[in-house]
Amino acid sequence: MKRILTFCLLCGLSLAACSREKPLAVLGQIPQFQLTSQEGTKFTRKELDGHVWVADFIFTNCEGPCPRMSSHMHSLQDKTNLGVRLVSFTVDPDRDTPSALQEYGKKFHADASRWTFLTGDKATLNMLDHDAFKLGSLGADMDHSTRFVLIDKQGRVRGYYGIADGNPVERIAKDAARLEQES
């Protein structure tokens, strides 16, 4: 009887070890940056250190995918732990002033303690969009990526999630929870 219990215990431990998900790959590193929040205050990447965060690129006058993306961000606000931060970068810094971003955030019931909208220098925003997040470039046609980016506590890119395949909220929330468990 003791042998059977030992055998069952070993089988259970083996199955548990095999069923563990592989860690999410490290796909890049987000450099330090300084931009302006919807509240008109300086915002740096250091404010995100120690937090898992989700980023997207939008603009407030968008009649295409941006409202859908922001709706997904609102859902993430509801479906993730309070420690997870949400960051929406503008691709139209000429029009998206802090007050415009603040009004836009109100439409999506953004919790300012968790969800930050950022504007600022075009060169910095373009560097982040193109070089750091690897999503695209700021341009006059406002054609931008519709992907969300998941970043870990060390500022490393750990996942890309597009809206072309449906609603990515559940996958992002699940992966964000996994990253919060990493040390």
Residue 11 lies in a domain: no
Residue 35 lies in a domain: yes
Say yes or no to pLDDT of 18 above 60: no
Full domain range(s) for residue 148: 25-181
Residue 104 lies in a domain: yes
Residue 146 lies in a domain: yes
Say yes or no to pLDDT of 29 above 60: yes
Q: How far apart, in whole angstroms, are the C-alpha atoms of residue 114 and residue 85?
A: 5
125 against 3, higher pLDDT: 125
**Given CA atoms 132, 142, 145, 150 in this order, what sign does their dihedral have?**
positive
If one counts the domains in the chain, the total is 1
Q: How far apart, in whole angstroms, are the C-alpha atoms of residue 39 and residue 79?
A: 24
- For the entire predicted model, the pTM comes to 0.85
Residue 134 lies in a domain: yes
Listed range (1-5, 73-77, 123-127) with the worst mean pLDDT: 1-5
Say yes or no to pLDDT of 163 above 50: yes
Q: What is the mean pLDDT of residues 138-167?
A: 84
Residue 82 lies in a domain: yes
Q: State in Å, rounded, how far the first CA of the chain is from the last one.
A: 40
pLDDT classification of 17: cutoffs 50, 70, 90: very low
Q: What is the CATH number of the domain that holds 165?
A: 3.40.30.10
Residue 49 lies in a domain: yes
Residue 157 lies in a domain: yes
Give per-residue pLDDT as tens, 49-79.
999 999 999 999 988 888 999 999 999 999 9
pLDDT at 143: 60
28 by Cβ neighbours in 10 Å (0-12 / 13-18 / 19+) ranks as middle
Q: How far apart, in whole angstroms, are the C-alpha atoms of residue 122 and residue 106?
A: 24
Give CA separation, 116 vs 43, 54, 84, 148, in Å.
Answer: 9, 10, 12, 15
